[in-house]
Amino acid sequence: MLKLMVDFLAEEPELCGKLDSCTTPHYALAQTYSTNFGIEEADAWKVFEEIERKIKEAEYIHIEAPRPIRKWFLLTPEEISMLRVITDYFAPQPRMAPASGFVGNRLESAIETYKWVFGSPRGNGEAARENFHNLVEKTQNAISFRCDTLEPLMTTPNPYKAVLDLLQIAGEKLKLDPGIHEMLKRPMRTIILNIPVPMDDGNLRVFTGYRVQYNDALGPTKGGIRYHPELTMDEVTALSAWMTWKTAVAGLPLGGGKGGIRCNPKDMSQGELERLTRGYTRALARYIGPYSDIPAPDVYTDSQTMAWIMDEYSQIVGCNTFGVVTGKPVCLGGSLGRNEATSRGLMYTVIEAANYKGIDMKNATVAIQGYGNVGYYAARLLNELGCRIIAISDSKGGIYNEEGLDPNEAMKHKIKTGSVAGFKNYKPTTNGHLLELDCDILVPAALENQVTPSNAAKIKAKIIAEGANGPITPEADEILHQKGIFLIPDILANSGGVIVSYFEQVQNQMNYYWSEDEVRNKLQNTIVTAFREVLAIAEEHKVNMRVAAYMKALKRVSDAMLVRTSKAFLPVTINAR
């Protein structure tokens, strides 16, 4: 549609005829778009509204040039203003166009409008005209466009709201001190950073990053760093609260934090990512450290990202500080056993749950949604125990075989073809269907919000272990609980990752490293103890396992806060205890 707009302005003859025969440019555009692309006119109006909004909110716009160049070019702020003039010309009620009157042809009119509204660069009207013509040509030839915005995006459902809802439920059961409850509704510290990065094309781009340190009552805050184009502060805040409960439920001497940068790593070179990561580290250096806040990898960040952070931070403080981040390569202080730690921890909790429910792990049937790090290792480890993996899936589809699948062969197929779908002659299955299979153990290990009130009643598994963060909505929890399904909540089931991250940091601080067996034994002790404590709370208070896990976590955090908080600050509640 954007190309059609510039074609109109460039006075393509048959389009001009359209403009002349229609009452407004907006109507002419919608009608032509609808005819050319065979879609309803009402939908064409919606497409226009979406483009107008994106261009209005855009901080950066990239245009992909055609072959043989096939490169992304960043538009200048002047060109972005010009695009705003163009979209305004086609708006139902243009606000800028009347500024110029309709001088000469339409393109001249738009150029005059631009000069009126935005002024011409260095007072030079000719330069503006030339730039405008260039932009029209670039837009006509472009293969694709990309708009990046800094407007906050609200994800649905808002993850922070889910955190607050659970805090409320568990807080009431615990009779949490009202002052502490108030404090726990908000993060302790939120840092917003703007990081200038020289890009490969010679432009300077400023990225916005966050670090939220939610609570450090139990120890230094700990949590991953996520690179994502739609990252929001609500999301980072919710994840930092999640980390606070996760470290607390596992009994670790750590608080919770999370960070991230709004960027699209898939479109960035290694050099750009390194400069971005080092810039983020410099901006954050005074707030992180082995005794204050310890980042780790998360979505679209990895051991290389952590190595850059560790190196940059070490240069700033003047000595090797391996313990400032975890998830590093093993040759730079990473821990043995970290890759499979989340799934190994999950396996230990599943063994406990199966004992409790009287399910024999040998021959127990397992369905796993998501076949990445967590899903694959979970399949492998559970299979080694004798479980039958009857279904697995990834974003492209799934496979099903009642007799069981070979997890390693399935992974080889995924590496070769990009998906587990189509492996051998197994029956295909969908992600939705996989969740509803008749099985003993279900492991959602892909995305959030997979089990909701709309499909919870159809789940037939006896045990669900949440490998992913937030795959089951709190509303669906109660339905599963009523059905007698035993849920191992994310903050417990997938805490193996953060437990071994903690071990990594302990080894860094000692500068003495453990064998893989030692790591596994310590992980098993830690997570099994946490599981048993949560189960005891669930039984004592007759609540589901998720509420029980939050109660355990909240109690640890609030006890630490109460003894640490100044008596002058909370005199009544502290004395009452």
- Asked if 467 is part of the footprint of ligand NAD (rule: CB under 6 A), the reply reads yes
For residue 64, which phi and psi values (nearest 5 degrees)? -95, 120
Least CB distance from residue 246 to ligand NAD, whole Å?
8
Nearest CA among 253, 283, 194 for reference residue 503: 253
Q: Which residue has the tokens 């060109």?
A: 79
111 vs 391 by CB, closer to ligand NAD: 391
Instruction: Measure the CA–CA gap between 371 and 315, rounded to whole angstroms.
Output: 38
* Site membership for ligand NAD, residue 469 (CB under 6 A): yes
Under the criterion CB under 6 A, does residue 374 sit at the interface with ligand NAD?
Answer: yes
State the number of binding residues for ligand NAD (CB under 6 A). Answer: 20
Nearer to ligand NAD, 495 or 565 (CB): 495
Q: Is 175 helix (H, G, I), strand (E, B) or coil?
A: coil
Nearer to ligand NAD, 16 or 330 (CB): 330
Contacts 24+ apart (CB under 8 A), 181-186: 183/561, 184/215, 184/554, 184/557, 184/558
- Residue from 109, 247, 305, 369 that binds ligand NAD (CB under 6 A)? 369
CB 232 within 8 A of CB 157: no
Contact between residue 546 and residue 477 where contact means Cβ atoms under 8 Å apart: yes
Sequence-separated (6 or more) residues with CB below 8 Å from residue 194:
206, 207, 208, 209
What does the CA dihedral 246, 249, 253, 254 come to, rounded to 10 degrees?
20
**Residue 155 interacting with ligand NAD (CB under 6 A):** no
Q: How far is the CB of 520 from ligand NAD (least distance, A)?
A: 15
Amino acid present at 466: E
Instruction: CB nearer to ligand NAD: give 258 or 275.
Output: 258
446 interacts with ligand NAD by CB under 6 A: yes
570 near 558, Cβ under 8 Å? no
For residues 288 to 327, the per-residue mask of contacts with ligand NAD, x marking binding by CB under 6 A and - elsewhere, is ----------------------------------------
Residue 447 lies near ligand NAD (rule: CB under 6 A) = yes
Is residue 442 within 8 A of residue 464, CB to CB? The reply is: yes
| Among 122-130, 160-168, 275-283, 365-373, the segment contacting ligand NAD (CB under 6 A) | 365-373
HSE-CB at 563 with a 13 A cutoff on CA atoms is 7
Q: Does residue number 265 form part of the binding site for ligand NAD (CB under 6 A)?
A: no
Q: Which amino acid is at 298?
A: D
372/422 with CB nearer ligand NAD:
372
In the region spanning residues 3 to 62, those forming contacts with ligand NAD, defined by CB under 6 A, are: none
List 372, 404, 422, 474, residue binding ligand NAD (CB under 6 A) = 372
| Contacting ligand NAD within 380-419 (CB under 6 A) | 393-395
Q: Which residues in the 329-348 window bind ligand NAD by CB under 6 A?
A: 342
- Closest-by-Cβ residue to ligand NAD is 372
CA distance 564 to 570: 11
Q: Which residue from 251, 260, 185 is spatially nearest to 215, judged by alpha carbons?
A: 185
CA angle 84, 87, 90 (to 5 degrees): 150
Choose between 171 and 470: whose C-beta lies nearer to ligand NAD.
470
* Alpha-carbon span 401 to 426, nearest angstrom: 6
Peptide bond into 68 cis (omega under 30): yes
Phi and psi at residue 438, to the nearest 5°:
-80, 105
Distance in Å, CB of 472 to ligand NAD, minimum: 12
Binding span for ligand NAD by CB under 6 A among 2-10, 75-83, 267-275, 461-469: 461-469
Cβ distance to ligand NAD smaller for residue 305 or 494: 494
Q: For 250, list phi and psi in degrees, rounded to 5.
A: -80, -5
> In the set 55, 191, 497, 556, which binds ligand NAD (CB under 6 A)?
497
The residues annotated as belonging to the active site are 258
Q: How far is the CB of 221 from ligand NAD (least distance, A)?
A: 17
Residue 371 binding ligand NAD, by CB under 6 A: yes
Nearer to ligand NAD by Cβ, of 220 and 223: the residue is: 223
Q: Which residues in this chain contact ligand NAD in the complex, by CB under 6 A?
A: 342, 369-375, 393-395, 431, 445-447, 467-469, 494, 497
